[in-house]
Chains A and B, each alone.
Chain A
Amino acid sequence: MVFEILSSSDLDNYYCLNEFPGAKNESIDPGKYDFLTDPQIISSLVQYQGKELTRVTFDIPTIHCSSCIWLLERLHKLNTGIISSTVNFPKKQIMVSFDTAKYSLKELVILLASIGYKPDLNLSHISGTKKEKSKSLLTIQLGVAGFCFGNIMLFSFPEYLSLGIPLAPEYSMMFSYLNIGLSLPIVFFSAKDYFISAFKSLHSKSLSIDVPIALGASVLFIRSVIDIIFYNQAGYLDSLAGLIFFLLIGKWFQNKTYQSISFDRDYKSYFPISVSVKRGKTVTNISLSNLKIGDTLLIRNNELIPADSILQSDNALIDFSFVTGEAEPIQKNKGDLIYAGGKLHGTHISVKTIKDVSQSYLTQLWNEVSPKHKIDKNISHITNTVSRYFTPTILAISLIAAIAWWFIDKTQVINVFTTILIIACPCALALTVPFTYGNALRILGKKRIYLKHANVVEAISKIDTIVFDKTGTLMINDIKSIVYAGDSLSEKEKAMVHQLTQNSIHPQSIAISRNTPTQKSLKVDLFEETIGMGIKGNISGNSIKIGSTAFLNANNVSAIDNNINGTWLCINNEVKGQFIVKRNLRKGLKNMFRRLKNKYHLHLLSGDNDTQKDDFDGLIRPENLVFNQSPSDKLDYVSSLKNLQKNVLMVGDGLNDAGALLESQVGMAVTDETNQFSPACDVIIEGDKLKSLPNILAFCKRQKWIVYAGFVISIAYNIIGLSFALQGLLSPIIAAILMPLSSITVVLACIFLSQVTAHKYRF
C-alpha cells in the first residue's frame, strides 16, 4: 500500500536508495485521529497557524535511515497542500508547513501514519513545551570568547617577543587599549554566568568552585585595567581571556546531550491526547484535559485507560504490566475499579471515570515525588568539596603574604596580593571534572548506555546499594520455554497436542509443538484457529482445544484455579492443564549478580508474586527479596534505604518503578528500544547491556580517581605559580604561560586516563 502511494507520486526511487527502507506498517483507523479536528487541540499542537500557512513539528520515532529523510522531505509531492517539510534526524523530528485552506492536520497525520511514520502524539505535547535555550547561549558565549581570546593573544604577542626590549610606547599603548576593549565582551557577556553563580553561592553561604573563579577573574580584570591606564603596563588580559575561553570549552564539552532520548518523561508522555467519550448516544473525541469525573469512555483494543474508572462492560482483560509490574493481564468484571494506565486487551469496553487524570492513583504517585535532591547538572560535589578548602587557603596565603611584604617592601603589597589571587584562579581544577566526566559520558554513550548529563557519573561512583525491579527489568518473557502444568498426559494425548499445534503458526503453538516431541503421526480433522483465542480440532474421534478459558467453554474451568488467564488444554471438554510461558532471567544476569553481590547491597522489588523466588537463590539475600510491591511500596522501600544513609541505584523499567526511580540517588531505566517510552530517570540502558553493570559501576568509580589525579596536577601547577607570585615576580608572560599549560596538561591527562580505564573495563 505504501508502494502505491509512493509510485503514484513518482517517488518510487525510495526503494532504490536503501535495501530495507521504511518501517513495518500497521493498519490505521482514521477514526482514531478525529481529535485532530478539535480547534483547541490543533492550536496546542501547531507552532504557527495563519490563514495561509500552518507550521507543525512532530516527533517521529520511526525515523531511522537516510531513506526516511529523503521521503519525508518530499511530502509536498504526495499532496499539493503540503508546502515543505524538513527533517531533523538527530532529534527524530519533522517540521511541516502546509496550506491551511487546502489541507488539515488530521489529513497530514493520517498521511504520515499511512506511509509508516506515525507521529508520536501524547498528552505531553499539548501541556507545555520544553525549550532548551541555555545550550545555544553557551555556544555564542564560547564563540565570542574565542574571538576575543584570539585577538587579545595577537596584540599581546609583541610584548612576549620583545624579550625585555620595550616597544615603542605608542604601539604598546594602542595594543593595551585594544585589549581592554576586547576583554569587555568576555567579562560582561561570556563570563557572566560565573559571576552570577558565585554570587548565588555566597548568598547561600557556600563556597562553590565558581567563587574563586569569579574572584580571580575580577581581580585579573581590575588589576589589568589599572595597570594599563595608570602605569602603562601590559596587564594580564591575555590570561583572563584564556581562562574564560578554556572554562567555557569545559562547560561545552560537559554539556553533551542525546537529542533523540528523553530523560524527563512523565505520565503525560504515556497517555494519549484524546479519548472517546459517550454522551447520550453519540461518541465524541475530547481532549484528555477536558475529561470530567463521571464521563463514560469508550476504550478500544490496545488503548489506555486514562483515569481511574469503573468498568461498565461485562468483563475486560487489562494489561497492567507497565503500571504494576504484574506480568499477566488481569480479568476485571463489571463494577470493578480499573486504575489508570492499564491497557485493554480484546474487544472494546466502556468505563466511567471516578477521578481526574492528574488525581488518579498512578499520576498522583508521580506528582508526590518532587525530584528536588536530584543530581544537579551544573554542580559537582567533588569540585565543590575541594573548593571549600581551596578558597579559604588561597585567601589566607594572600593575606599572610601581603602582611609579610608590608615589612619588606610596602610598594609591593598590592602587587603580591593580587598576583596570588590571579595565579590561584582554579582554571585547571575547574576543568578536571567536566573533561573527565564528559569523556566518560561519551564513552558510555558509544556503548548505548545513555547518561542524562556528565555529573551522573559522579553520582554513580558513590553507589553502594542496588535495587532491582523484576518484571521487564531482570526477567523477560521467553516464549520458547513454555511448560505444561496439570494432569499428566498419556503418550497419545501428547501426540495429539503436538499434531494440533503443528497446524498453527502462533508463536505459542510453535513452542508447544517443539516441547512435546512425538513419534506418532496423527491426522487432524476440522482444524480451526480463532485469532487471539485458541485452536481446536478433532483427532481420531477426540475433540481437542487449546486456548483461553473463554475459548474452551468447558465446565470445570473455574473449578481448577482462580487464575483463569493463560493458555489451557482441554480434551473432550475436560480441562487437563495449563501451558505456562516461563519468564527467564536475561542472559548473563546470574553472572552479573555473582559479581555484584560482594561489593554492593542488592535488593529485589517485584510487583509480582513470589513464584520465581528460587531463581534468585544464592544471588540476592532472601531478606532482600520483596514481592507483591505496589508502586508506592517501592517508593517507600527506596526512601527507607536512603534514610539508612545508603546511596541507592534503582534499576527499573516501567511506570510502576517511576516513583522509586525518582526517589533513588540514581535511577536507571532498562529498555529494549531506546526510543520507546521509559520513565523519568538519569540513565537509560539497553536490556542486553545490563549484564555489564558491574563494569559500568567500576568504570564510574575509577573516574573519581582520575578526577583526584587531575586535582593533584592542577594544585602542583598552582604551587609553582604561587612560588613566583609570593616573590613578587609573576610577570604577565609567566601567568600567560602557566594558565593554559596547566589547563591543557590536566585536560589531556584526564582524557587519556579515562580512555585507558574504558579499555580495561569493556562493556
Chain B
Amino acid sequence: MSAIIVMIAVSIAIALVFLIAFLWASFNGQYEDDYTPSIRMLWDDKRKDHK
C-alpha cells in the first residue's frame, strides 16, 4: 500500500518538473519564434571547401 503512495508522489513530482519546464520555456519566449532556431543551428562558422 505505501508503495503506491510513494509512486504517486514520484509521478506527480515528475509531472510537475515537466510543467515547470514548460512554463519556464513559455516565459522565456521559446514559443515566439519556432522557425529561426531550426535554421541557425545549421551554420558552420567557416566553410572549408571554397568553390
Contact = CB atoms under 8 A, between A and B. Distances in A.
A66 B39 contact: yes
A136 B30 CA distance: 10
A151 B26 contact: no
A147 B36 contact: no
Given A16-B47, A87-B36, A88-B32, A143 B26 contact: yes
A222 interface: no
B19 A13 contact: no
B23 A143 contact: yes
A92 to B, nearest CB: 11
A147 B4 CA distance: 20
A670 to B, nearest CB: 27
A73 B39 CA distance: 11
Nearest to B42: A66
A61 interface: no
B46 A10 contact: yes
A154 interface: yes
B3 interface: no
B31 to A, nearest CB: 6
A492 interface: no
A70 B36 contact: no
Contacts of A70: 39, 43
Interface string B6-47: 001001100100110011001000011111100110110011
A16 B50 contact: yes
Contacts of B8: 155, 174, 178
A434 to B, nearest CB: 19
Interface residues of A, number: 28
Contacts of B33: 88-91
Interface size class of chain B, counting residues whose CB lies under 8 Å from the partner chain: 20 to 34
A154 B4 CA distance: 13
Contacts of B40: 69, 73
Contact of B47 (A13, A86, A150, A154): A13
A632 interface: no
A136 B26 contact: yes
A144 interface: yes
Contact of A143 (B1, B11, B22, B32): B22
B47 A147 contact: no
Contacts of A87: 36
Contacts of A86: 36
Contacts of B47: 13, 16
A28 interface: no
Contacts, number: 57
B13 to A, nearest CB: 11
A627 to B, nearest CB: 46
Given A147-B19, A151-B15, A69 B26 contact: no
A90 B33 CA distance: 7
A428 B40 CA distance: 41
Given A16-B47, A66-B39, A89-B36, A139 B4 contact: no
Interface in A141-162: 143-144, 147, 150-151, 154-155
A489 interface: no
Given A70-B43, A154-B11, A140 B23 contact: yes
Interface string A429-455: 000000000000000000000000000
B23 A89 contact: no
B15 A140 contact: no
A144 B15 CA distance: 11
A283 B39 CA distance: 45
A761 interface: no
A171 B4 CA distance: 9
Interface string A120-138: 0000000000000000100
B20 to A, nearest CB: 10
Nearest to B43: A70
A14 B22 CA distance: 36
Nearest to A12: B50
Given A16-B51, A147-B19, A154-B11, A89 B26 contact: no
Contacts of A73: 40
B15 A147 contact: yes
B15 to A, nearest CB: 6
Contacts of A10: 46
A69 B19 contact: no
A144 B11 contact: no
A70 B40 CA distance: 7
A140 B26 CA distance: 7
A534 to B, nearest CB: 45
Nearest to A158: B4
The listed residue with most B CB atoms (<10 A of its CB), out of A66, A150, A178, is A66
Nearest to B33: A88
A100 B50 CA distance: 37
A143 B15 CA distance: 12
B39 A69 contact: yes
Interface in A564-599: none
Given A13-B46, A174-B5, A89 B35 contact: yes
A90 B19 contact: no
Contacts of B23: 140, 143
A144 B23 CA distance: 9
Contact of A88 (B19, B26, B36, B51): B36
Contacts of A66: 39, 42
Contacts of B51: 16
A588 B15 CA distance: 57
Nearest to B44: A13
A171 B1 CA distance: 9
Given A147-B22, A150-B15, 20 more contacts: A10-B46, A13-B46, A13-B47, A16-B47, A88-B32, A88-B33, A89-B33, A89-B35, A89-B36, A90-B33, A91-B33, A136-B32, A140-B23, A143-B22, A143-B23, A147-B18, A151-B15, A154-B11, A174-B5, A174-B8
Interface of A: 10, 13, 16, 66, 69-70, 73, 86-91, 136, 139-140, 143-144, 147, 150-151, 154-155, 168, 170-171, 174, 178
Q: Which 6 A-B pairs have the closest CB atoms?
A: A89-B36, A147-B19, A88-B33, A143-B22, A66-B39, A89-B35
11 contacts: A10-B46, A13-B46, A66-B39, A73-B40, A87-B36, A88-B33, A139-B31, A140-B23, A147-B22, A174-B8, A178-B8
